[in-house]
């Protein structure tokens, strides 16, 4: 009988167990869908009883429903030192399989220039600005307008071959050339 760790107490238990024999955590992945709500309620009750905190209980429910990370994916974000390294996104289109690269610093720079444009909208409450303020940041047209910055940032996240925004992404970090 294969064993797997309980998502709550990490004790090894049978992969067909509905509850952890140590902590009582309901294993929602092994419970038939018709009993799914009851399993979530049981998990919440147990976590709330143990912690006394609603937020912790909700986190326990979400954790019990989240599949464990794939082997080797425990730390998906590699460490990055901006002073000595260059970080880029290697993106592969899931539609046409084209691969392209985008510098993280370029995307961050565009976002930082775009945020004041979006915040400058005084005639609406839209979090991303309205069509009026996207015509130009502070009345400026051309390469510094909010619309242009937004389109440029959007183009970095679309396949240059087919225009799809459906892509997988890998972060690559290089040492800076001296």
Whole-model pTM: value is 0.46
CB 94 within 8 A of CB 168: yes
What pLDDT, on the 0 to 100 scale, is given for residue 147? Answer: 74
Handedness of CA 133, 156, 74, 85 (dihedral sign): negative
**Helices 104-119 + 146-156 axis angle, to 10:** 150
What pLDDT, on the 0 to 100 scale, is given for residue 150? Answer: 80
Burial (Cβ within 10 Å: 0-12, 13-18, ≥19) of residue 47: buried
Please enumerate in sequence order all residues whose Cβ is within 8 A of that of 159, keeping only pairs 6 or more positions apart, or say none: 91, 93, 95, 96, 98, 100, 165, 167
Total Cβ atoms within 10 A of residue 7: 20
What pLDDT, on the 0 to 100 scale, is given for residue 72? Answer: 56
Angle at 6 between CA 70 and CA 47, to 5 degrees: 115
pLDDT in tens, the chain (178 residues): 678 888 777 888 887 777 788 877 776 554 444 456 677 778 778 888 888 888 888 887 777 776 666 665 555 566 778 889 999 999 999 999 999 999 999 988 888 777 665 555 554 444 444 555 544 444 455 556 667 778 888 899 999 999 998 989 998 888 988 7
CB 162 within 8 A of CB 76: no
Tokens of 29: 């992945």
Please enumerate in sequence order all residues whose Cβ is within 8 A of that of 110, keeping only pairs 6 or more positions apart, or say none: 149, 152, 153, 156
């Amino acid at each position: 009988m294969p064993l797997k760790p309980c998502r709550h107490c990490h004790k090894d238990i049978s992969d067909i167990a509905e509850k952890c024999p140590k902590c009582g955590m309901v294993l929602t992945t092994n419970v038939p869908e018709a009993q799914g709500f009851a399993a979530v309620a049981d998990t919440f009750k147990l976590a709330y009883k143990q912690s006394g905190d609603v937020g912790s209980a909700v986190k326990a429910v979400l954790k019990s429903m989240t599949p464990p990370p794939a082997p080797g994916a425990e730390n998906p974000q590699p460490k990055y030192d901006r002073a000595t390294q260059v970080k880029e996104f290697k993106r592969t289109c899931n539609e046409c399989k084209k691969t392209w690269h985008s510098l993280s610093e370029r995307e961050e720079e565009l976002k930082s220039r775009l945020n004041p444009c979006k915040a400058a909208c005084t005639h609406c409450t839209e979090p991303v600005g309205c069509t009026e303020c996207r015509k130009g940041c502070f009345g400026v047209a051309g390469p510094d307008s909010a619309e242009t910055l937004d389109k440029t940032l959007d183009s970095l996240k679309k396949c240059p071959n087919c225009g799809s925004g459906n892509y997988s992404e890998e972060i690559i970090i290089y040492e800076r050339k001296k």
